[in-house]
Amino acid sequence: MAANYPEFIWQNGKIKPWAEATVHVMAHALHYGSSVFEGIRSYETPNGPAIFRLGDHLKRLYMSARIYDMAMPYTIDELAAACREVILKNGLTKAYLRPVAFRGLGGFGLSAETPTDVAVASWEMGPYLGPGVLEAGIDACVSSWQRMAPNTIPAGAKAGGNYLSGQLIAREARRLGFGEGIALASTGLLSEGAGENLFLVFDGQLHTTPASAAILNGITRHTLITLARANGIEVIERDMPREYLYLADEILMCGTAAEVTPIRSVDGKPVGEGKAGPVTRRMQDLYFGLFSGKTEDRWNWLDPVA
Ligand code: PMP
């Protein structure tokens, strides 16, 4: 997005010019990481632009807020309307949506009762992990940073503060020349990518790390599990040791931003044949088929923008 900002943003109930959506420097969230947010995509479909799993993303936003006792001043329906409005106002079709709610200005103590500010931004976004990665795959590394231990910072909340962990993992990986970092949980077992869930393929079956492995319970992860099972591909949720990364036939990362990205190497060792394998390609076809119309949307996941 860099300098090419969209024209409008929704903030606290109103559409505003992008430049006017400002926050006080003493807002609670800026100091203490007290924000919750979502990343959602809209796609062009044969029936017009549609937001993918909007209701599920907003439900997760409200669950994240609930974990932190953050009062939400709007209903889910009101925020869903805001998401549609900001896409339409900016004239976007294929877009990334970013609803964010945060403790605003109102007190400096950790437990201060602050007002919750809410904004929704949207902009055009291509493949998150770089151009061409959906075809070519990425080179990943195991991060030297682990994910949060259980009962420290809840990994299942999509809160701003969690992304300090994500930044350490992603920045270390980029610094070392890798496309993305994979983190281990505090148990030493596999967790997930800096901003993506993880699937390994063994003998044609998909294996993915469980909620107890300090992951964010990803909506793309759930989508892939559902699509795979509906198409006769077995999915197993299980803990896995690090060395499985070096033994898997295929590995993929998934997330709203990363979509379905093949991993072609880990720590310099090729995964399988060093390129996207057949199960990964099949999952990409099923996933992107939801937007082209090739995969039937039996779950009503596509929410029309207009
Ligand atoms: N894990 C983390 C840490 C993430 O930030 C994301 C992106 N939201 C995911 C997994 C994937 O989640 P989703 O598929 O819901 O975007």
pLDDT tens per residue, range 267-296: 999 999 999 999 999 999 999 999 999 999
Give domain 133-292's CATH architecture: Alpha-Beta Barrel (3.20)
Give the pLDDT mean for 47-51. 97
Active-site option among 16, 59, 89, 158 = 158
Q: What is the mean pLDDT of the chain?
A: 97
At residue 210, the pLDDT reads 98
Bridge partner list, 104: none
- DSSP secondary structure string, 194-262? SS-EEEEEETTEEEE--GGGT----HHHHHHHHHHHHTT--EEE---BGGGGGT-SEEEEEETTTEEEE
Q: Is 192 in the pocket of ligand 1 (CB under 6 A)?
A: yes
Q: Looking at ligand 1, which atom is closest to the CA of residue 57?
A: 15
Q: Is 165 in the pocket of ligand 1 (CB under 6 A)?
A: no
Which of 58, 98, 182, 256 maximizes ligand 1 atoms within 8 Å of its Cβ, making it the mutation to test the pocket?
A: 256
Q: How far apart, in whole angstroms, are the C-alpha atoms of residue 61 and residue 68?
A: 11
User: Encoding tokens for residue 11?
Assistant: 């903030």
% of residues, the chain, pLDDT over 90: 97
Q: Is 277 in the pocket of ligand 1 (CB under 6 A)?
A: no
Q: Is the pLDDT of residue 1 over 70?
A: no
- Under 8 Å between Cβ of 138 and 180: yes
- Under 8 Å between Cβ of 305 and 48: yes
CA 28 to chain centroid, in Å, comes to: 24
Please tell me the distance between residue 218's alpha carbon and the centre of ligand 1 in angstroms.
5
At residue 241, the pLDDT reads 98
> Which pLDDT band holds residue 2 (cuts at 50, 70, 90)?
low
The fold of the 8-123 domain, in CATH, is D-amino Acid Aminotransferase; Chain A, domain 1 (3.30.470)
- Under 8 Å between Cβ of 122 and 87: yes
Give, in degrees to the nearest 5, the angle at Cα 129 between 187 and 16.
105
Spatial CA neighbour of 148 closest among 181, 182, 183, 186: 186
Give, in degrees to the nearest 5, the angle at Cα 109 between 104 and 112.
55
DSSP, collapsed to helix, strand or coil, labels residue 139 as strand
At residue 126, the pLDDT reads 87
Q: Is the pLDDT of residue 257 over 90?
A: yes
The structure tokens 């903030």 sit at 11
Q: Is 216 in the pocket of ligand 1 (CB under 6 A)?
A: yes
Which of 196, 227, 287, 301 maximizes ligand 1 atoms within 8 Å of its Cβ, making it the mutation to test the pocket?
A: 196
Q: How far apart, in whole angstroms, are the C-alpha atoms of residue 251 and residue 141?
A: 12
- Under 8 Å between Cβ of 267 and 244: no
Q: How far apart, in whole angstroms, are the C-alpha atoms of residue 98 and residue 54?
A: 11
Q: What is the pLDDT of residues 208-248, one digit of tens each?
A: 999 999 999 999 999 999 999 999 999 999 999 999 999 99
Q: What ranges do the domains of the chain cover?
A: 8-123, 133-292
Q: Looking at ligand 1, which atom is closest to the CA of residue 166?
A: 3
Spatial CA neighbour of 120 closest among 12, 36, 222: 12
Active site residue 158: yes
Q: What is the pLDDT of residues 16-25, one digit of tens each?
A: 999 999 999 9
Please tell me the distance between residue 259's alpha carbon and the centre of ligand 1 in angstroms.
10
Q: What is the pLDDT of residues 161-186, one digit of tens each?
A: 999 999 999 999 999 999 999 999 99
Q: What is the pLDDT of residues 65-80, one digit of tens each?
A: 999 999 999 999 999 9
> Which pLDDT band holds residue 3 (cuts at 50, 70, 90)?
low
Please classify residue 106 by burial: count the beta carbons closer than 10 Å to its beta carbon, then call 0-12 exposed, 13-18 middle and 19+ buried.
Answer: middle
Q: Looking at ligand 1, which atom is closest to the CA of residue 192?
A: 1
- In the chain, the amino acid numbered 162 is N
pTM metric for this prediction = 0.97
Q: Looking at ligand 1, which atom is closest to the CA of residue 162?
A: 3
Q: How far apart, in whole angstroms, are the C-alpha atoms of residue 58 and residue 38?
A: 7
At residue 37, the pLDDT reads 98
- Phi, psi angle pair for 165, to nearest 5°: -60, -50
Residue nearest to atom 5 of ligand 1 (CA): 195
Please tell me the distance between residue 106's alpha carbon and the centre of ligand 1 in angstroms.
30
